[in-house]
Amino acid sequence: MGANHQNRLLEFYRENARALPWRARPGSNVPADPYRVWLSEVMLQQTTVATVTPRFSRFLEKWPQIEDLAAAPLEDLLAEWAGLGYYARARNLHACARAVVANGGFPQDEAGLRALPGIGAYTAAAIAAIAFERDSVPIDTNVERVVARLEGIEGPLAETRPKVHAAARALWPAGRAGDYAQAMMDLGATICRPKNPRCDVCPICEDCAAFASGDPEAIPARKAKKVRPERRGTAWWIEKDGAVWLVRRPGKGMLGGMAALPGTSWEDGAPNDIDAPHVRHVFTHFALTLAVERRASPPGGEGWWQPLSSLGDAGLPTLYAKAAALMTGQPVRA
């Protein structure tokens, strides 16, 4: 597969690129903003474009430049991140912003970018290619699927990933790495989807081994789903004079640094029969059933009284926003 395939895909991207607030339109001659590219790539880790798009705009309203983000208190950033999940990303985002400001700007190569907090191999390659026009090859799950189908690489990605990545690097055009990466990402997100791929409108289907096979959805093979372990715990709802007692979770670990209801640790085991009101939340590696019990007085330790009228401003992560909604009867913004 050579230049003809690359040109068709790039032309398709030029005419059909998704309008995203962090993206420079192809052919506009407006360079990509490294701050926006970096921020979007971090926010998009394990989170959908539909979820990230409005939250990205809110971030830019609060912190239009990386210097603004670096100067913000970490607690403000964590509160704004509430509901996006994977909260270590927010802590790394803050640390990375401060490192970039201290260094006078972003490094422009993958090695320099990977030295920054929270930036791994994919994110470094994406920033280098999209923001700095380096010949880097960012390979996300969409790109993996497109390449596996193009090349007819069968088997689960967990087993074939080295082969898929080598094939991707062979496909990438020199000098157009950023546009080609975004074209591949758009193709995977909107056309070469995991289920029901739209091969009839794919600009490169004539080059695709999976399309030629007659069953493109079979590539890559799906891995067997694992059963999520169950955990259980209790949160305490302590209300006084129109306010509820909140604490901040430890800086490391699940929901690190986030506002929360006080409560017990989370233990392994099925929830069994729970008499108290409770909520259920599914994390990446386990499912949690959290009982919510009223309690008369705060436990020892630091915390604060959050007015119920402004509970949505506390930055509660989704788990505790669900618990608060259960106890107040009103939705609470995560």
Q: Are residues 32 and 122 in the same domain?
A: yes
The CA distances from residue 160 to 13, 87, 112, 157, 188, in Å, are: 27, 30, 29, 5, 18
Q: Are residues 202 and 264 in the same domain?
A: no
Q: Are residues 71 and 164 in the same domain?
A: yes
Mean pLDDT throughout 296-304? 86
Mean pLDDT throughout 82-109? 93
Look up the domain containing 94 and give its range: 3-218
| pLDDT at site 305 | 94
Q: Are residues 203 and 322 in the same domain?
A: no
**Amino acid at site 324:** A
Looking at the annotation, which residues are catalytic? 41
Q: Are residues 273 and 300 in the same domain?
A: yes
Q: Are residues 23 and 154 in the same domain?
A: yes
Alpha-helical segments (H) within the chain: 3-16, 34-43, 49-62, 66-71, 74-81, 88-103, 110-114, 121-132, 141-151, 157-171, 177-190, 209-213, 318-328
Residue 201: which pLDDT band, with cuts at 50, 70 and 90?
very high
Token pair for 100: 């970039």
**Amino acid at site 177:** A
- At 138 the three-state DSSP class reads coil
Is residue 237 assigned to a domain?
yes
Which positions ≥6 away from 257 have C-beta within 8 Å?
Answer: 74, 75, 78, 87, 90, 91, 248, 249, 250, 251
Q: Are residues 152 and 252 in the same domain?
A: no
Percent of the chain with pLDDT over 70: 99
Q: What is the mean pLDDT of the chain?
A: 92
- Tens-place pLDDT, residues 247-299: 999 888 889 889 999 999 999 988 777 778 899 999 988 999 999 999 988 88
Q: Are residues 39 and 116 in the same domain?
A: yes
The CA distances from residue 215 to 109, 132, 147, 207, 220, in Å, are: 39, 38, 15, 15, 11
Better-scored residue on pLDDT, 330 or 161: 161
Q: Are residues 118 and 54 in the same domain?
A: yes
Q: Are residues 145 and 278 in the same domain?
A: no
Mean pLDDT throughout 300-321? 91
| pLDDT at site 2 | 57
Q: How many domains does the chain have?
A: 2
Q: Are residues 191 and 71 in the same domain?
A: yes
Q: Is the pLDDT of residue 1 over 60?
A: no
| pLDDT at site 60 | 95
Question: Which of 218, 250, 280 is where one domain is finished?
Answer: 218
Question: Which of 165, 185, 218 is where one domain is finished?
Answer: 218
Q: Are residues 244 and 156 in the same domain?
A: no
- Whether this prediction's pTM lies above 0.85 is answered by no
Question: Which of 172, 195, 218 is where one domain is finished?
Answer: 218
